[in-house]
Amino acid sequence: FLHHGSQVHSRAMALLPGLKEHCSILGTARCKEEGGSLPLDVAARRDLLVQSLEAGAAAIDIEVRSLESLHDVVAKAKSLGIPVVASFHDFEGTPPFYRLRDQIEKAVAGGATVVKLAVRVESMIALFGLVSLFQQGWPVRISAMGMGSHGKLSRLVLAKAGSVLNYGYLREPNAPGQWPAGELRRLIAEI
């Protein structure tokens, strides 16, 4: 909703109070560098995130790289008891463990409740590296998912490893390796 311009954004915000009675809404205004579809500046992203908080979002998602510039939004979410998901995206590959660890540590320092890592997974070795994240005893909950040739498999394996947010699509995928939401829910319950 938030990625398609102000007119759609206004309609989406008007629908949010009714939608939140049927499902949990994760508010985000993704920066262009991590997959956002509009080149929004920090002020515009701040406004969208605050509006989503005020409209009843169950959680907000802010990129790890943006936590410092959006620290006031993090503080507002925390004051409302709304979880902050700090996300990191790598569309090119799976970074080494130390880089993922650094992202998690920055997210913790920035006030995150959950850290979401979405990376390109093209091998079983890369997938096993992500699985190992769930054995580290982090002070926050971790959500990890793959994109790419091993994306679908990663979403099932990582859900069973303990990933707390597992994304599926409703109409069409917005990243390679996503499952339809209903099928993902069914498969996770089955395995």
DSSP collapsed to 3 states, 42-65 = HHHHHHHHHHHHHCCCCEEEEEHH
- Number of DSSP helices (H) and strands (E) in the chain, helices first: 7, 7
**Distance from C-alpha of 182 to C-alpha of 102, rounded to nearest angstrom:** 33
Set out the domains of the chain in order of their start, with CATH numbers: 1-63 (no CATH), 83-191 (3.20.20.70)
The per-residue pLDDT for 36 is 75
The per-residue pLDDT for 1 is 41
H or E, element range at 117: strand 114-120
User: Out of 9, 89, 150, 152, which one is annotated catalytic?
Assistant: 89
Our answer to whether residue 150 is catalytic in this structure is no
The per-residue pLDDT for 165 is 92
User: Out of 9, 116, 150, 152, which one is annotated catalytic?
Assistant: 116
Q: What is the pLDDT along the chain (191 residues), one digit of tens a residue?
A: 444 444 445 666 676 666 666 678 888 888 778 777 777 889 999 999 999 898 889 999 999 999 999 999 999 999 999 999 999 999 999 999 999 999 999 999 999 999 999 999 999 999 999 999 999 999 999 999 999 999 999 999 999 999 999 999 888 998 889 999 999 999 999 99
The per-residue pLDDT for 20 is 65
Our answer to whether residue 89 is catalytic in this structure is yes
- Virtual CA dihedral for 135, 136, 139, 142, nearest 10 degrees? -50
DSSP state of 178: P
The per-residue pLDDT for 150 is 97
